[in-house]
Amino acid sequence: MASVHESLYFNPMMTNGVVHANVFGIKDWVTPYKMALLVLLSELGRTGAQLGLLERRRLNRLLLPLLQGPDMPLSRLRKAIEESCPHLASSVHIRLKLMAEGELKDMEQFFDDLSDSFTGTEPEVHKTSVVGLFLRHMILAYNKLSFSQVYKLYTALQQYFQNDEKKSGTDESDMELTNTEELEGKMEKEELDVPLREEEISCSGPLSQKQAEYFLSQQASLLKNDETKALTPASLQKELNNLLKFNPDFAEAHYLSYLNSLRVQDVFSSTHSLLHYFDRLILTGAESKSNGDEGYGRSLRYAALNLAALHCRFGHYQQAELALQEAIRIAQESNDHVCLQHCLSWLYILEQKIFDSCVLLEHSVNKSLHFGLPYLASLGIQSLVQQRAFAGKAANKLMDALKDSDLLHWKHSLSELIDISIAQKTAIWRLYGRSTMALQQAQTLLSMNSLEAVNVGVQQNNTESFAVVLCHLAELHAEQGYFAAASEILKHLKERFPPNSQHAQLWMLFDQKIQFERAMNDGRYHIADSLVAGITALNSIEGVYRKAIVLKAQNQMSEAHKLLQKLLIHCQKIKNTEMVISVLLSIAELYWRSSCHTIALPVLLQALALSREYSLQYLASETVLNLAFSQLILGIPEQALNILHMAIEPVLAHGAVLDKGCAMFLVAKCQVASAASYTPQKKIEALESAILNLNEAKTYFAKVDCKEQLRDVLYFQARLFHTLGKTQERNKCAMLFRQLHQELPAHGVPLINAFK
Amino acid sequence: MAAAAAAGLGGSDFSDLREIKKQLLSVAERSRERGLQHSGKWASELAFALDPLPLSELPPPPALTEEDARDLDAYTLAKSYFDLKEYDRAAYFLRGCKSQKAYFLYMYSRYLSGEKKKDDETVDSLGPLEKGQVKNEALRELRVELSKKHKARELDGFGLYLYGVVLRKLDLVKEAIDVFVEAAHVLPLHWGAWLELCNLITDKEMLKFLSLPDTWMKEFFLAHIYTELQLIEEALQKYQSLIDAGFSKSTYIISQIAVAYHNIRDIDKALSIFNELRKQDPYRIENMDTFSNLLYVRSMKPELSYLAHNLCEIDKYRVETCCVIGNYYSLRSQHEKAALYFQRALKLNPRYLGAWTLMGHEYMEMKNTSAAIQAYRHAIEVNKRDYRAWYGLGQTYEILKMPFYCLYYYRRAHQLRPNDSRMLVALGECYEKLNQLVEAKKCYWRAYAVGDVEKMALVKLAKLHEQLNESEQAAQCYIKYIQDIYSCGEIVEHLEVSTAFRYLAQYYFKCKLWDEASACAQKCCAFNDTREEGKALLRQILQLRNQGETSSTDIAAPFFLPASLSANNTPTRRVSPLNLSSVTP
C-alpha cells in the first residue's frame, strides 16, 4: 500500500488530490467557432423575446458549456442548438452562411453591431454577466487584430463553414454517428465521458489552446485514476510530440510526457521531460507573477522536490535524498512551509525505505494540519495507521484515527483518500483476522459511487485501492472454498488491470497464492513448488515461506527447518511480525512432526505471546490449536480441550474452511482422548459428540476438496463407530476411506499424529 | 553538360588544377543562372584562389538547347523578377516552361515565395498556438510535383537539390538524405547539396554508410563535416592536404581552419589565422562572430572594438555584426546592451543558434536567471547538441544554489564534450557541494587527465585529498600542480601556488624530509600571504636540524621544477572511464 502514498508528488494540475481542468489561464482569441457562438448570442438577443420559456431555459443551460468548452465543428454545434431550439439553429446557420459566403465587410459589420447590445437604456446583455464578459472579450480581441489578421480570420471562417458543408454533403453516415452520441443530452457530460474519438486524436493538425488543455487534463486524470482508459504510452507520446511541435511553449505537455515516461519506467526521457517542464515553468512563473521573486522561486523548490520523487520512484534512494535535501534547503530559505510539508512527507517515504521511523510522520501530520493541507495530513495519518498496525498498537485507537481522518475526507470530498481509507480498513481487519469485517469493508468500497467530478458517470476508478480490495475479496472467497467465485474476481481484476499496468503485481501475487493453497490442499506439491518461483518474484519473503511449506509437505524436514530459521531471523530484523508468527508456527509443526513436542511447546508459546501482543487474533487462535494438539499428544487432553474452547469460536467465526475442519477434527480427537478416563455412559456421550464434530469437519474438508484430511477423518470416524459398535456406519466410513485411500498415495506420517 | 562535368572529375586527385578551375567557373555560372547565390559564391571564391586561365582555356558559355531557346524570353523576364525578390511574379511567368533551367527557377521561386510568406506570417498570427503552425503552404504541392518528376528521372542535379530541400523542410530526413546523395552524384560540383547533407548527418556512423561520389569535391565535404562533428584532428588534416593541393589562397579554407582551431580552443593559432584572413579579405563578415568570441575570451578590448566598428561600417544589419557588437558590449560589462544586440541578431535570423546561448550568458551576468534559462532552452531547441547551452543551464542552477539539480545539465554537456575539462571541473564542484567526495575526486582527476584548461582541477583535487586526510595523494597533486604551472612558464594564480607550497612544506616537515621542506618553505617566503608561515617553518627546521644529525650539504635542484621531472613522478593512475555512481541520465 505504500505506493499509494507515493502518489503525493506535486502535480501542477492537481491540488489536494483534485485534478483541475483549467489551470492554464484562459487566453481569448477570436476563432471561427467563437464567431458562431457570437452569432448565436446575437440571434438570441434578437429573437429571444419570441422564444418559449422551456426553450429559453434549455438554451441558457446550453450556453455555459459552449462558452467554456473547446472548439467544436460547426455540425456538432448546430446539433447542440437544434436540440434546444431547432428554429434558432437554422437562423444561426443562415446568418453564418451569409457571412461566410458574403464579403469581408459583412463580418466587419457584424462585429460593429455586436457592441450595440450593451447600449441603450435597458441593455439586452449586462456588462458583467458571463455572456457580457464573453462578448466584451471577443470584441476586444477582434479590435486588436491587424489588417492581415482580420483577413485571415475571415478565410478561417469561410473554411470552417465550407468544411461543414462538405461534411454534411458527403458523409451522412458519420453525421449519424455523432447524432446518436449527442442525443444523450448533457453536453458537458458527453464531452467528458466519451474518450477523444479517433478523428480528434489523430488529427495531424494542431489543436486549439482549449482543446490542448482539455486533452492534457483529461489524459492526466486518466493516468491518475484509470490507466487503462488513457491512451497507450506510445500513442500518448506521439500526441504530445505533435502538440509540442506546434507549440513548444506548452509546458504542461512536458509534464504529461514525464508522467507518461514514468508509466513505461523510462528514466532517461522522464528526467528529460521533468526538467524541461520546470525550465519552462520558471519562465511563465517569472512573467506572470507580480509578487517579485516568489513566482519562480516556488517552482524551483518544487522542481527539486519532483526530481527527488522521480529518483525515489526509480529506486535511486541516494539521489533522491540529495535532491530532497536541496528542496528542503531552498524551501527553508524562502520560508515555504507548504513545500516543506511536502518535503517532509517525502522524507518519511525515503526513510521508510531505509529504516522505520514514525517520529517524522507524526511531525508531518501535525504540521500539515496546522498549515491546512488536509490531503497531506490524511495521507500521513494513513501511513501512520498502517505502520502502527504492523507495530501492534491498540486497534481501537487506530480505527479511531481512521474515522477522524475519514471525517476530514468527507468534509473536503477527497474521494481518492476515502477509497484508500476503506481499502486500508479491509487490510487491517484481515490482518487482525476478522474476515467478516474485512468482507464488509471490501463490499462497501465496491458498491460505492465515485465522487470524482471528472468521472460522474463512471462508477469506479481503477485505482490501487480497488485492486487491493478486490484481491482481498478473492482471497476471502478462496478461503471459504468458493474457488469459482475467486477465479471470477481474478478474471475481473485481469480485465481492469491488464498485466503491464501499474497495479497488476497485486493480483498476480494473490492469484498465485490462491493457486498455491489449492495445490497444497489437493496434495499436488509439485504444482505448488512450481508456483513458488512466481511468488518469489513478486514478494521474496512470501516466496521463501511458501518454499519452506512445500519442503515440509514433502517431508524434507531439515531443509525446511534451515530455510525457516533463516527467514525467522530476517523477519525479526525487518519487524514483519505477521510473518514471524507464521514462521514460528511452521517451525513448531516441524518439531511435532518429528515427535519433539516438548521442543515445539516453547516455540508455540512465543508465537502465542507475539500474536496476542500484536492483537493478531486469527494467528493466535491458530497457535492455540497447535498448542492444544501438542498437549493432546503429550497426554493431557483435558487441558487441550480447555484451551481449545478459547480458539474454536474465532476460528469458526472468521477462519478459513480448512482451518475450521482441522479445528473440529482436533476437538473430536481431544474429546475421544479425554473420554478414556470417563465412565462408560459419559464416554459414549463424548464419543457421540465427537462423531458429530467429525461430521462437521468432514463437510468443511469436502468444501475445499481436501481429500487427505477427509480420509483421516473417515478413518477416525470408522474407529469411533467401531468402538460404539455401530457396524453399519463403520462399514460405510471404512468403504469411503478405502475409496479415498486408493486414490491417494499413502504417506509416511502415522495418521493419528497429523493435526493438519 | 552535367554528365560531361561528372566524367571529367574522375577521382579525388588534384593534379589538374586547371580543369578544376574550369569546372568551378562553369558551375558558378550555372548556379547564378538558377538563383542559387550561395553555391555560386562558394564556387567563385574557390575559383578565385586558383591561378587565372588564359583566354583560350576559358570554359565556353553553356550551350543552349532548343527548349532553352523557346523559354528564353520567359526565363529572362522571370530571372529579373526573381532577382528583385518578386517570387510569385517570377513563378507566374515561368509556368509551362519545359527547359531544365526555367523549370528549376519556376519551382525555386515558388519555394522561396512560400518561405517568405511563412516568415511574414509568423509576425501576425491569430493566437499563441498558431505561432508554431505557420508553415510553408507550397511545400506539399512542390513535393508532389517534384516526386513525380523524380520518379520519371527528369530532374537534373539542381532539381534534385531542390527536391531534397523540400523534403527536409517537411521533416522527411531519411528521404532527404537519399535525394541529396543522389544530387551529389549527378552534379558533384554543386556545393549546396553537400552543405545540406552536412546539416542532416548527425554522427560519424551515418557518414560511414553514405555512398558518396568519388570526386575532389568530396574532400571539401569531408573536411567540412569533420569540423561540424567536432572531429577537429581529421578536419585539420583534410584542410592541410587541400592547401597543399593548391588552394592555399582560398579564404574559405582559411576561415574553416580558424573555426576548427577555435573549436579545440587553440586560441592563439585561431587568432593569428583570423588576423591573416582579415588582411586578405578585409570586408568579410562571415565567421567574424567566431573571431569576436576569441577576442572576447582573450579580453582584447581594443581589437574587439575595432572589429565591431569596422563591421558596423560594412553592414550593420547582419547577424554576425550584431553578434560582434553584443560581444563587445559584454566585454565592457554593458550587459543590457549586449542582450539587446543578441536579440537583434535573433530577429534577423531566428535560427541563429549562437545568439541564443550568448544571450543566455548575458542574462546570467545580469542575474536574470529565468530569462537566461529561457534563452538556453531556446538554444537547445534549435540544436540539442549545443553543449554551451547545457553548460549555461547548469551554471544558472548552480547560481540558484541547486547543485544536485544542475548535475543533470552538466552531465549533458559532458556527454557532448567528453574531453572538455570545464564541464568536468563543474561536475566535480557540484559533487563537492553535495559532499560526494569520491565522485568529485573522480571528476577532478579526469579533468586533469583530459588536459585541464584552467589548471584548477589539480588544486581542487589536492584540497579534497587534504580534507580526507590523504596527505600523500594531496602532496602528489600539489607537486603535479606546481610542475604544471612552471612548465607553462607563466604563473597564473599566486594564491594557489602559495597554498601548494605551504602544504608541501608542512607535509615534508611532517615526514621529516628537511631538505625538501626547507626548499618549499623558502618558496613560501616569495608570496605575501605565506611569508610569515614560511619563515616560521624555516626557523623550526633549522632548530630540529641542529638537534638532529648534520644534514648532507649538497642540495639538489629543487624537485618541483620541471627539470627534475623524473619518471617516478608521472601519474600512476591511468585515465579510466569516468564511472560515476549516479545512474541518472
CA pair distance A720, A686, nearest whole angstrom: 11
* CA distances (Å), origin B523, targets A85, B354, B456, B527, B561: 98, 45, 20, 8, 12
B404 touches chain A (CB under 8 A): yes
Q: How many CA atoms lie within 13 A of B37 on its CB side?
A: 4
* Least confident span in A272-286, B220-234, B500-514: A272-286
Q: Comparing C-alpha atoms, which of A331, A332, A313, A312 is closest to residue A322?
A: A312
Average pLDDT over residues B123-138: 56
Q: How far apart are CA B152 and CA A404, in angstroms?
A: 79
Q: Are B258 and B274 in contact (CB under 8 A)?
A: yes
Asked if A493 and A467 touch (Cβ cutoff 8 Å), the reply is: yes
Contact A304 B402 (CB under 8 A): yes
Nearest-CB residue to A153 (from B126, B370, B403): B126
Give the ipTM of the model, two decimals please.
0.71
Residue B106 C-alpha cell reads as 519556376
Taking the Cβ of residue B76 and every Cβ of chain A, the question of whether any pair is shorter than 8 Å is answered with no
Kindly list the residues from chain A whose CB atom is less than 8 angstroms away from the CB atom of residue B581. Answer: 318
Instruction: Look up residue A345 and give its amino acid.
Output: S
Q: Which residues of B23-43 are buried (b: 16+ CB within 10 A; e: fewer)?
A: bbbbbbebbbbbbbeebbbbb
How close is the nearest chain A Cα to the Cα of B385, in Å?
Answer: 14
Contact B126 A30 (CB under 8 A): yes
Work out the burial of residue A288: count CB atoms within 10 Å of its CB; fewer than 13 is exposed, 13-18 middle, 19 or more buried.
Answer: exposed
pLDDT band at B564; cut points 50, 70, 90:
very low
Question: Taking CB atoms and an 8 Å limit, are B128 and A27 in contact across chains?
Answer: yes
Mean pLDDT of A545-570: 89
Distance from CA of B350 to the nearest CA of A (A): 15
From the list A27, A148, A245, the residue facing B124 with the nearest CB is A148
Does residue B387 contact residue B357 with C-beta atoms inside 8 Å? Answer: no
- Average pLDDT on A95-105 reads 84
How many whole angstroms separate alpha carbon A546 and alpha carbon A529?
A: 8
Selecting from A249, A319, A326 the residue whose C-beta is nearest the C-beta of B584 gives: A319
Contacts of A279 (CB under 8 A, 6+ apart): B373, B377, B393
Chain A residues within an 8 Å CB radius of B411:
none
Model confidence pLDDT, tens digit, residues A679-736: 888 888 888 888 888 888 888 888 887 777 888 888 888 888 888 888 888 888 888 8
Half-sphere exposure of A122 (CA within 13 A, CB side): 1
Grid cell locating A156? 478561417
Mean pLDDT calculated for residue range A424-441: 87
Residues B346, B115: Cα–Cα separation, whole Å: 17
C-alpha grid cell, residue B410? 552538466
B549: alpha, beta or left? (left if phi > 0; alpha if psi -120 to 50): beta
Least confident of A10-14, B23-27, B52-56: A10-14
Chain B residues with CB inside 8 Å of A280's CB? Answer: 377
Tracing cell 555584426 back to the chain, one arrives at B321
* pLDDT at B322 > cutoff 80: yes
What's the CA gap between B397 and B413, in Å, rounded? 14
To 10 degrees, what angle do helices A395-412 and A374-390 make? 160
Across B428-445, average pLDDT: 88
Contact between chains at B403 and A323 (C-beta distance less than 8 A):
no
Contacting residues of A for B129, CB less than 8 Å apart: 206-209, 212, 246-247, 250
Cell of A280: 519552462
- Which pLDDT score, from 0 to 100, does residue B328 have? 92
Distance (Å, whole) CA A561 – CA A568: 10
The reported pLDDT for the residue numbered B126 is 53
Query: How far is the C-alpha of B41 from the C-alpha of B26, rounded, in Å?
Result: 12
| Longest distance between any two alpha carbons in chain B, whole Å | 110
Are the C-beta atoms of A43 and A91 separated by less than 8 Å? yes
Closest CA to A58 of A30, A26, A29, A82: A82
**What's the CA angle centered on B198, arms B194 and B202, to 5 degrees?**
150
The maximal CA–CA distance of chain A, rounded, in angstroms, is 117
**Chain B environment of A213 (Cβ under 8 Å):** none
Give chain A positions within 8 Å (CB) of B371: 286
Task: Give the β-pairing of A14-15 and A18-19.
Answer: antiparallel
A614 near A582, Cβ under 8 Å? Answer: no
3-class DSSP state for residue B551? coil
d(CA A480, CA B395) in angstroms, rounded, equals 64
Q: Which of A529, A531, A526 is nearest to A510 (CA)?
A: A531
User: Is pLDDT at B381 greater than 90 in this prediction?
Assistant: no
For residue A267, the chain B residues in CB contact (below 8 A) are 583-585
Residue A497 and residue A481 in contact, taking contact as beta carbons nearer than 8 Å: no
Question: Which chain B residues are Cβ-neighbours of A152 within 8 angstroms?
Answer: 126
By the 8 A CB rule, do A654 and A433 touch?
yes
pTM of whole model > 0.80? no
Check pLDDT > 70 for residue B363. yes
DSSP state of B11: B
Give residues with Cβ within 8 angstroms of A706, minimum separation 6: A521, A522, A658, A661
Name every chain A residue with its beta carbon within 8 A of the beta carbon of B582.
Answer: 316, 319
Hey, which residues 373-392 in chain B have their CB within 8 Å of chain A? 373-374, 377, 381
What is the arithmetic mean of pLDDT over A204-213?
61
Give the gap in angstroms from C-alpha A298 to the nearest C-alpha of chain B: 12
Query: In the beta sheet, which residues pair with residue A14?
Result: A19
Computed over every residue of chain A, the mean pLDDT equals 77
Mutate to test the interface with B, among A307, A321, A329 (most CBs of B within 10 A): A307
Considering only residues 119 to 148 of chain B, which have any Cβ-Cβ distance to chain A shorter than 8 Å?
124-133
* DSSP H or E segment with residue A473: helix A464-479
The torsion defined by the Cα of A526, A530, A536 and A537, in degrees rounded to 10, comes to 180
Ramachandran bin of A438, using left for φ above 0, alpha for ψ from -120 to 50, beta for the remaining angles: alpha
Rounded to a whole number of angstroms, the distance from the CA of A309 to the nearest CA of chain B is: 13
Contact B127 A209 (CB under 8 A): yes
Q: Which residue has the cell 522522464?
A: A270
Q: Residue B492's pLDDT is what?
A: 54
How many A×B Cβ pairs under 8 Å? 100
Q: Are A187 and A65 in contact (CB under 8 A)?
A: yes
Q: Determine the average pLDDT of the residues in B174-201.
A: 90
Measure A252 CA to nearest chain B CA, in Å. Answer: 14
Out of B373, B401, B434, the one facing A322 most closely (by C-beta) is B434
Look up cell 456588462; give the residue.
A127
Lowest-pLDDT range, A378-392, B151-165, B369-383? A378-392
Q: Is the pLDDT of residue B324 over 70?
A: yes
Name which of A283-297, B53-67, B87-101, B380-394 the model is least confident about: A283-297
Nearest to B404 among A206, A286, A326 (CB): A326
Grid cell listed for B416: 557532448
Q: What CA–CA distances, in Å, run from B561 to A634, B489, B557?
A: 90, 11, 8
Residues of A in contact with B370 (CB under 8 A): 282-283, 285-286, 296
pLDDT band of A593, cuts 50, 70, 90: confident
Bridge partners (DSSP) of residue B215 are B11
- C-alpha grid cell, residue B64: 543552349
Cα separation, B37 vs B386, in Å, equals 29
**Does the beta-carbon distance from A248 to B381 stay under 8 Å?**
yes
Shortest distance, CA A203 to any CA of chain B (angstroms): 14
Cell 617566503 belongs to: B525
Cα-to-chain-centroid distance, residue B56: 43
Q: pLDDT > 90: what percent of chain A?
A: 2
Alpha carbons within 13 A on the beta-carbon side of B498: 14
| Chain A partners within 8 Å of B404 (Cβ) | 304, 307, 319, 322-323, 325-326
Closest C-alpha to A4, from A422, A431, A337, A327:
A422
CA distance B390 to B384: 9
The residue of chain B with its CA nearest to that of A209 is B129
> Smallest Cα–Cα separation from A92: which of A41, A159, A29, A31?
A41
Candidates A622, A616, A700; CA nearest to A430 is: A616
How buried is residue A623: exposed, middle or buried, by Cβ count under 10 Å (0-12/13-18/19+)? buried
* pLDDT-wise least confident of A618-632, B77-91, B302-316: A618-632
Rounded Cα distance between A441 and A473, Å, is 10
Contact B133 A206 (CB under 8 A): yes
Q: How high is the pLDDT of residue B61?
A: 76
